[in-house]
Structure 1
Amino acid sequence: MTLIEVDDWTLQAKCRGMQDKLFPEGADQKRARAVCMGCAVRSQCLAEALDNRIEWGVWGGMTERERRQLLRQRTDINSWQSVLCGRNGT
């Protein structure tokens, strides 16, 4: 898989061009998460954040805290890309 293929999903994201709004604090996170609802590439976005241990912002509808909790609960998963998107992820 090439770098271009990996990044292709970002071109289809509902949040494209809204980067600053996706890194809110506190109550504003709920508003940012709403952008993710119904997004065609939500799974790819979440997999990207989980596989790369991205610790800031809202990704795939999950906050930093929610992603950390999921990673702690599911230490058995090596590739979130594989689990969430059905791709090999290697």
Structure 2
Amino acid sequence: MSVVIVDSWVDEWATQARCSDQDPDALFVRGKAQHDAKAVCKTCPVLAQCLAEALDNRTEFGVWGGMTERERRALLRKRPDITSWKSALRAGMASQVKAD
């Protein structure tokens, strides 16, 4: 049995984002409208890359990677030990293995 590590990380992710063809203002909303913005993220193929970008750059506004600014701030407070969210999320994706 061989084990293949799958690394599906995409560095040039923005053009592949589910929201790339939508009005950007729809992602920078407040209140209940954030639920609609987050719904776009649920099936996005580059959700982790988007979230890592926002967390690593401490992006203050908008829905990124399926999280509101409040949710991202809470995550950053909860995990101050993570210095690179890109590395952490990429490693998590790569840990998925496929056995032949």
* TM-score tier after normalising by the smaller chain length: 0.7 to 0.9
Aligned partner (choices 21, 29, 36) of residue 17 of structure 1:
21
- Residues 63-89 of structure 1: per-residue CA shift (max 9 Å, x gap): 0000000000100000000111239xx
1:84 and 1:59 map into 2 onto residues whose CA distance is 14
Aligned partner (choices 63, 66, 75) of residue 80 of structure 2:
75
2:74 and 2:57 map into 1 onto residues whose CA distance is 15
RMSD of the TM alignment (CA)? 1.5
2:83 and 2:30 map into 1 onto residues whose CA distance is 29
Give the number of the structure whose alpha-carbon radius of gyration is greater: 2
2:21 and 2:29 map into 1 onto residues whose CA distance is 15
How many matched pairs?
82
5+ residue gaps, structure 1: none
Using CA pairs below 8 Å that are at least 6 residues apart, which structure has the higher relative contact order?
A: 2
Give 4+ residue runs of structure 1 displaced > 2 Å after superposition. none
1:23 and 1:78 map into 2 onto residues whose CA distance is 26
1:43 deviation in Å? 0.1
TM-score by length of 2: 0.78
Task: Name the amino acid aligned to 1:14.
Answer: R
TM-score by length of 1: 0.86
Q: How does 1:1-90 map to 2 (within 5 A)?
A: 6=11, 8-18=12-22, 19-86=24-91
Identity %: 59
5+ residue gaps, structure 2: 1-9, 93-100
1:20 deviation in Å? 1.0
2:52 and 2:27 map into 1 onto residues whose CA distance is 16
1:17 deviation in Å? 3.0
